[in-house]
Chain A
Amino acid sequence: DIQMTQSPSSLSASVGDRVTITCQASQDISNYLNWYQQKPGKAPKLLIYDASNLETGVPSRFSGSGSGTDFTFTISSLQPEDIATYYCQQYDNLRWTFGQGTKVEIK
């Protein structure tokens, strides 16, 4: 099975900072990678699909890039409402795996 290594597990940044989260797959998954945001007590929300496509209605400060085994999720200017845990999710051969999550806090 494909394993996803997401880092860091947590980070603290100031409002307006650029925030970057990485996800590494244990084997080539092309661009089969999605990113979700989960706020406390809420269901996850899809932000990015197919590695770099912004879901409709999601602010443009969120972006994703990468292919193969290495992927990056970026918040260009951190806002207070972005406090959440972010997960990557790969899909390969009709099976899914999630990364361990990155908790983003305001410094």
Chain B
Amino acid sequence: QVQLQESGPGLVKPSQTLSLTCTVSGGSISSGGYYWSWIRQHPGKGLEWIGYIYYSGSTYYNPSLKSRVTISVDTSKNQFSLKLSSVTAADTAVYYCARVSAAAADYWGQGTLVTVSS
């Protein structure tokens, strides 16, 4: 059973960089066949796709966030990460990591709330 777990600071100051890591267990990122994604949800709002990465390092980002987003993968640790730069209060959200199988997110982490505030 694949499990994903987000980790990282729950509070980030405005203009700083938000950094989160997703640790995958029960399956190997480097085995291929899946993309690994970040999705966020503003409080009380809908879902917003941030981007995803393949084990090889190929990435695809939401055009509206592309200038501030970097997703990377560390196959040795079976982790992938999200960096979002120059954050504002509008980036306050629950951030989810997910496995993508055939363009559907079939396994999700529990989500982690990141608040942007001074």
Contacts and interface: CB of A to CB of B under 8 A. Distances in A.
A43 B46 contact: no
Interface of A is mostly: strand
Q: Report which residue of B49, B96, B109 has the largest number of chain A beta carbons within 10 angstroms of its beta carbon.
A: B49
A96 B111 contact: no
A1 B103 CA distance: 17
Interface residues of B, number: 18
Contact of B46 (A42, A91, A101): A101
Contact of A98 (B49, B60, B63, B98): B49
19 contacts: A34-B105, A36-B47, A36-B105, A43-B98, A43-B109, A43-B111, A44-B105, A46-B105, A46-B106, A49-B102, A50-B102, A50-B104, A89-B49, A95-B49, A95-B62, A96-B103, A99-B46, A100-B46, A101-B47
